[in-house]
Structures are given as C-alpha cells and as structure tokens.
Amino acid sequence: MTNSVSVKKHSKNKQWVPQVLRFVDSYTGFILAFAVLVALVVGVKTGMNEPPAFENGSTDSWWVIATNLIHGKGYSLCIPRYFPFCSEQNQTTAAREPVPVFLFSLVALVGGESLWAAAVFELIIYLAILLVTYYLTKEWAGKRVALLAAFIWAVYLPATRLIPQASGDLLAGFAVNFGMFYVMRARKTNNASEWLLAGLWFGIGVMSRSAVLIIVGVVIAGQAIELFMKKENLKNVIYPSLIVGCVVVALMTPWVVRNRIVFGRPIVGSSLVGYNIFRQSYAFRGEDYLRYVGGAEGQEAVNFLLEEQKGQLTGKENEAQMDLIYQKEGIKLIQAYPEKYLRASGYRFFSLWFNWKIPEGNGHQTTRLGYAIMIFHALLMLLALKGMQGKNLWRTWPFWASLFLFSLLYMAIESQIRYTIPVIPMLISLSSAGLASILEDIFM
C-alpha cells in the first residue's frame, strides 16, 4: 500500500514536466529571444564595470593597426617589447590577422576611433555567437538542448570580458562555429554549397585567429576518414575535404602573398608565434618553470636575447626576421630542456582551460570570480563528457576532435583561457547535451 501511494505521488510530482516541455516547444523563439536579452544585459554590465581602455588585453595591437590603416600608415605596428627594432621606417607588421583589423578599421571610421564603438562591435559579435551556438546545437541535438546551450553562452563570463577590448577572438569564434554548423549540416545532406559555406566561414576564422587552421585540418581529415569507413567511392571521399580546403586556401592566399612581398617570406598566420615560443621557453633556464611568463618577464627575455645576439643582429631586422630568430632560440631552449618542455606543455592545459596562475604571471592575483570561472569550466568539461556518450560520440567527432587538437596546439606554445573562445561554443554544445541527459534522468 505504501509503495503504491509513493508511486502515485512520484507520478503526480512529474506531471508538470510535459507541460513545461510543450511550453518550450511552442515558444522556442520567445525563449531564445529572452536568452539574447540576458546576454545583452550581462554584456552591457561587463562593459560598464570594465570600460574599454587602450590597456585592455591586446587592444594596443589590434586597434593600433586598424587606426594606422585609416590614417594612411599602412598595416603597421610598433611595440618594442616584442619587436625591439621597430621605428617609423620599420613597423610593417603581421602580428595580427587581417579580418578583425579591417573590420575594426571600418568601426573606427564610423565611430570616430572611439573604443566604445569597438566595444559595441564586440558586443554584437558576442550576441551573434549565442545564435550560432543555438543553431549549431539544434543541428545535432534538437531545439531543447540548443536552448540550454544558448543560456549557457549568455552567462559565459570569459567571453563577456572580451567585449571591452579589441581582439580577434570573438570574431574567430563566430566564424569557426558558423563554419562548423555547415559541416554538421553537410554531413547529413552532402550538399556541395554547404561544404563551400563551411570553407568560407572557416577561412574567415583562420584570418581572424590563425590557430583555428588546425580545426580546418580536423574537418578535412576527419570527414575523409568517415566517408572512407562508410566505403564510399574515392570521389565522394575526397570532394567535401577538397571543397573546404580549396576555399580556405583561397581566402588565406592574399595574406600569405602580401607577407611574402613585404617580408621576403610567407607568413601563414601571425608573426607573434616565434616570440611566444621563446618567451615561454625562457623560463626553462631556471627551476621555477611551471608558470606563465607574462609581459614584464617577456621584456627581460627579449633583453637577454639582444645581449646574447650582440654583434649578430644589425638592428635593421624586420618583424618576420625577428620572428625567425625567436623561433630558433626558443627551439634551442626546448631541445636543451626537453623534459621541462613536456612538463610545461602538460601544465599549460590548466592555464588554457582554467586560466591557472595567468593573473599572477601578469603581476596580479586570481580573484574570486577567477576561481568561480575555473569551477564553471570544470563543470562544462564534465558535462561535455556526459554529452559525448553513446551515439553522440561519433555524431560529434568534429567537436571533440577540434577541442582536443586545438588544446594541444596551444599547450605546445602558450596558453590562457581567452584563447579557447573559438572552440567554447562546441564545448557548450556538448555540455548542454550532457546537462539535458542528467535532467531527463531526474525528471522524466
């Protein structure tokens, strides 16, 4: 008798669940609009609490190149802390990828070079990523899970903290995940135009943050392997990858050619790679090497290199030549301390995904909010593992393979949490599926 009463009570308590689900299904558009409103409030509040300033993040590079362009100074930048020989005659740069720079130039023209105009632009991109996250998740997991993903992005604080600064991270996140949306759709339809659109958005992503090129590699290789395992003929195996690859290469070519002309060698992405390799490897010279080497210590590393290379440097080297020197000296340190490099690469996983000790490397302290973000990221990762279970594992290989290899790339060079922004919508998509599964187990 007691068991019967308990079952009836349990059943009665869950009668509201179908009603809620019917409401969600009937008013999806309104709920999504509310998520956008939440994101707008969070984004605006962040901008008001942390007003845009020249010193915020990497504004001093992206915004300067953009304003130099509209002032007729060309694609130029002079930051002596990483390029010590820059001058009025020697400041041609490839430090930042071109798509965000050109868009920031347009924003600067329209907005009178106000950093608030740049912040509004970043806010728009942040809101657009919410919509992309929704449609990306809906494509493979349905609209209920997609709404969860939209709300998670709406309160994802590491992204909102990029709004008051000019950078290419949010734009790369928008482009890459829009491209991934078309990948997930094209995997079902095998429509050539959708593969073309995937390549187009991936190309824009690469020209916003060149590190996302590895995601293009994941899709090209993974799609070919998937079709091969389905025993498709050779033409069907290679043509999706060929379309995506050709479009991305076509979009990258003007930038590579420009760099070949002005520097004498083709730079595919950014000329900051060598500097970052050397700066982070500089710590291997001591025993306290499991840490992030910030800008101040990076200046010390550059001064050390200049002193060591005295007599070999002319002082007329261009940015690309210095990039090669940084790469060479950084690789020397890695080869001299291979065990330290491997340990440091593993340690960078925590810097990348939890921003561990990054503020300390820049002379600050991790705040309570910083620790809260660490916990939030840990929850997202655990939920993503849940979301990948069963059939979802192979359904979502473009997501988890991209997350894995993207992480390895940054762990090999330099890591901090803002670098994950281009792949966070994929993580949130997987996490939302995991959360939906848990909620279903509890309430259904």
Helices and strands of the chain, counted as H and E runs: 21, 0
Tokens 């990828």 belong to 97
Residue among 418, 395, 438 at smallest CA distance from 140: 395
Taking all residues of the chain, what is their mean pLDDT, rounded to a whole number?
93
Tokens 């300067």 belong to 64
Quick: pLDDT tens for 207-254. 999 999 999 999 999 999 999 999 888 888 999 999 999 999 999 999
403: pLDDT confidence band, cut at 50, 70 and 90?
Answer: very high
Residue among 405, 176, 438 at smallest CA distance from 184: 176
14: pLDDT confidence band, cut at 50, 70 and 90?
Answer: low
Which stretches of 172-314 are assigned E, i.e. beta strand? none
Q: Looking at the domain assignment, is residue 330 inside a domain?
A: yes
Least confident range from 159-168, 226-235, 331-340, 431-440: namely 226-235
What is the structure's pLDDT at 16?
80
Q: Looking at the domain assignment, is residue 4 inside a domain?
A: no
DSSP string across 326-374: HHHHHHHHHHHSHHHHHHHHHHHHHHHHH-TTHHHHTT----HHHHHHH
136 token code pair: 């990306």
Tell me the pTM.
Answer: 0.94
Is residue 11 predicted with pLDDT exceeding 80?
no
pLDDT over 70 percentage in the chain:
97
The strand pairing partners of 87, in sequence order, are 90
Looking at per-residue pLDDT, the higher value among 443 and 330 belongs to 330
Q: Looking at the domain assignment, is residue 9 inside a domain?
A: no
42: pLDDT confidence band, cut at 50, 70 and 90?
Answer: very high
Q: Looking at the domain assignment, is residue 268 inside a domain?
A: yes
Helix axes 424-443, 115-141, angle to 10 degrees: 50
What is the structure's pLDDT at 1?
47
Quick: pLDDT tens for 119-137. 999 999 999 999 999 999 9
How many degrees, rounded to 5, is the angle at CA 377 between CA 375 and CA 382? Answer: 95
Helix axes 234-263, 213-229, angle to 10 degrees: 160
11-15: which pairs have CB atoms within 8 A and are 24 or more residues apart?
14/443, 14/444
12: pLDDT confidence band, cut at 50, 70 and 90?
Answer: low
Quick: pLDDT tens for 79-120. 988 899 999 899 999 999 999 999 999 999 999 999 999 999
Q: Looking at the domain assignment, is residue 1 inside a domain?
A: no
Tokens 């979009």 belong to 251
Quick: pLDDT tens for 295-308. 889 999 999 999 99
**Residue-number span of the structural domain to which 366 is assigned:** 16-443
What is the structure's pLDDT at 3?
52
Cα–Cα dist 38/60, whole Å: 30
Is residue 7 predicted with pLDDT exceeding 50?
no
The strand pairing partners of 183, in sequence order, are none
Mean pLDDT for 49-65 is 92
Q: Looking at the domain assignment, is residue 10 inside a domain?
A: no
Cα–Cα dist 202/182, whole Å: 10
Backbone angles phi, psi at 130, to 5 degrees: -60, -45
Q: Looking at the domain assignment, is residue 437 inside a domain?
A: yes
Residue 113 burial (10 A CB sphere; 0-12, 13-18, 19+): middle
407 token code pair: 């992480």
Task: Write down how long the chain is.
Answer: 444
Q: How many domains does the chain have?
A: 1
Looking at per-residue pLDDT, the higher value among 234 and 399 belongs to 399
DSSP class of residue 76 equals B
Is residue 287 predicted with pLDDT exceeding 50?
yes
Q: Looking at the domain assignment, is residue 237 inside a domain?
A: yes
264 token code pair: 């004498």
98 token code pair: 């071109």
Q: From the centroid of its chain, how far is CA 170? A: 7
